Amino acid sequence: MGEINLITIIIIAANILISFKGFNDDSFFQKFKFNIADLKRGAKFQIFTSGFLHVDTTHLFVNMLTLYFFANVVIFGIGSVGFLIVYLVSLILGNLLSYFFHKDEPHYTAVGASGAVMGVLYSAILLRPDMMLGLFFIIPVPAYIFGIGYLLYTIYGMKKRLGNIGHDAHFGGAVGGYVLTLALAPWVFENHLLMVILLAVPIVILFVLQKMGKL
């Protein structure tokens, strides 16, 4: 993996400190989590702040571990500033997509860095589609296959409301990582054009399903 970059350390530290504050201070957690009713009352800051809160230590650990594994790939490909842009914008886009799909559900709430982390993961996949990822940490799968499969599963999860998981935030974050990486590293079009097209397929499917009222 090489040495962990300073910007990655800062992001992980911010997530840990803010999450543990939320674990021990319910009023803090309630104020800064993503909540549709609060957002409609003007608490727009929750679109950003909720991305640094987590439900529990397992939720926090999984997100930060995933970030650690893929941060350096993105930093090497588009630089530290590009990585930071991907992380923060993917976080916001993930929550905006959640708002879009749940705006009529005043009791809907969410927390977690998953949207931002998915943005980093999909950026890494575009930059290095030849990577092998471990499905369930065991089964080796080419990165682009994992990316396509996961987005298709996410669409299914959004449609069926599977589990207590913010599938829409995951999808929005992944789209953020996809679009921003293409904007910041246009050489990807030349080097990995087929992968660019293949990874766009689930995004098109989501758009079509939404237009048809199937989500």
pLDDT in tens, 126-164: 999 888 876 655 778 888 888 788 788 888 887 777 666
Q: Where are the alpha helices (DSSP H) in the chain?
A: 6-24, 26-32, 36-40, 46-49, 57-102, 114-127, 143-160, 167-184, 187-191, 193-211
Q: What is the pTM of this model?
A: 0.90
Distance from C-alpha of 135 to C-alpha of 146, rounded to nearest angstrom = 8
Q: Is residue 53 helix, strand or coil?
A: coil
User: Would you write out the chain's pLDDT as a tens digit for each of its 215 residues?
Assistant: 457 899 999 999 999 999 999 999 999 999 999 999 999 999 999 999 999 999 999 989 989 998 998 999 999 999 999 999 999 999 999 999 999 988 999 999 999 999 999 999 999 999 998 888 766 557 788 888 887 887 888 888 877 776 667 778 888 999 999 999 999 999 999 998 988 999 888 888 888 887 887 76
Distance from C-alpha of 22 to C-alpha of 140, rounded to nearest angstrom = 36
Nearest to 154 by CA among 199, 124, 192, 193: 199
Distance from C-alpha of 35 to C-alpha of 179, rounded to nearest angstrom = 26
